[in-house]
Structure 1
Amino acid sequence: MSGKFTVSITSAKNDPDKATVGFVVANAAVASGQETVVFLNVEGSFLAEKGYADEIHEEGFAPLKQLMDQFTEAGGIIWVCSPCYKKRGLSEDNLIEGATIVGGARLIEFLSQGAASITY
């Protein structure tokens, strides 16, 4: 077992349930000692914009912003799909703290090290 885990999140306000559950699972992974990467892509890339997740709160879960903050505070890593971010006209100047814009090669490198992966 590699000790690495990836959560790919393709949703944001278009499906806040998926975005929220993705971060719930990511928090569980990082809490269990896995080196955990959340890869924000497609619509999920919006979550990397400061303030975007502040109003997302699915019933039965902690607010998304809180889940995201807990994840990074626990040592979780947030990567944002570069072409997805640019396609949506988002600015690197408005990137949330702890997030890094990466290309697909970086994700493939992490996955090739044996990381398990799940997508929301």
Structure 2
Amino acid sequence: MPRSLAVKLTCGAEAAERANQALTVAASAVAAGADVSLWLTGEAVWFGVRDRCPDLGLEHASPAATLVEAVRAGGSVTVCSQCAARRSLTEADLVDGARIAGAVAFTELVLRDGVQALVY
């Protein structure tokens, strides 16, 4: 059984290749059967907001919205609570199934046995 994977994405369209890499890794891990938790912080929160997912416009890359949907369908998506508050976002603004949580929840997740954390 694959390990659990926590992917923390700290950038948005301003660092398109890094953001795409994180989303691609998370979606690929879901496809491989891993228990994936995608955490969105800073400008990455927009990937979790309904009708606001940035188009990264990267040649040879899957659209960000498609990758987020793949993660959402087989894993979980969490938006940083402080980052959401700074942008006046609530859970009602997020894609279906996404939630808002803070550093304590992230820390509890990554300290569990068998969890691999990647930060982009």
With the shorter chain as reference, the TM-score category is 0.7 to 0.9
1:77 equivalent to 2:67? Answer no
Identity %: 26
- 1:117 Cα deviation (Å)? 1.1
Q: Distance in 2 between matches of 1:116 and 1:104?
A: 17
Match of 1:90? 89
- 1:86 Cα deviation (Å)? 0.7
What TM-score comes out, normalization by structure 1 length? 0.88
Match of 1:48? 48
Decide whether aligned partners of structure 1 residues 29 and 2 sit closer, same or farther in structure 2, where only a CA change above 3 A counts: closer
Secondary structure, counterpart of 2:13 in structure 1:
coil
1:7 equivalent to 2:12? Answer no
Which ranges in structure 2 are unaligned for 5 or more consecutive residues?
A: none
Match of 2:111? 112
What TM-score comes out, normalization by structure 2 length? 0.88
Any conservation in 2 of the 1:3–1:33 contact (CA below 8 Å)?
A: no
Match of 1:33? 33
- 1:88 Cα deviation (Å)? 2.1
- 1:54 Cα deviation (Å)? 5.2
Which ranges in structure 1 are unaligned for 5 or more consecutive residues?
A: none
Q: Distance in 2 between matches of 1:48 and 1:70?
A: 12
Instruction: Report the AA paired with residue 110 of structure 2.
Output: L
Any conservation in 2 of the 1:2–1:113 contact (CA below 8 Å)?
A: no
Q: CA deviation digits over 1:6-44, x for unaligned, max 9?
A: 111011121122221111000121222221101001221
RMSD over aligned Cα, in angstroms?
Answer: 1.8
Instruction: Report the AA paired with residue 17 of structure 2.
Output: D
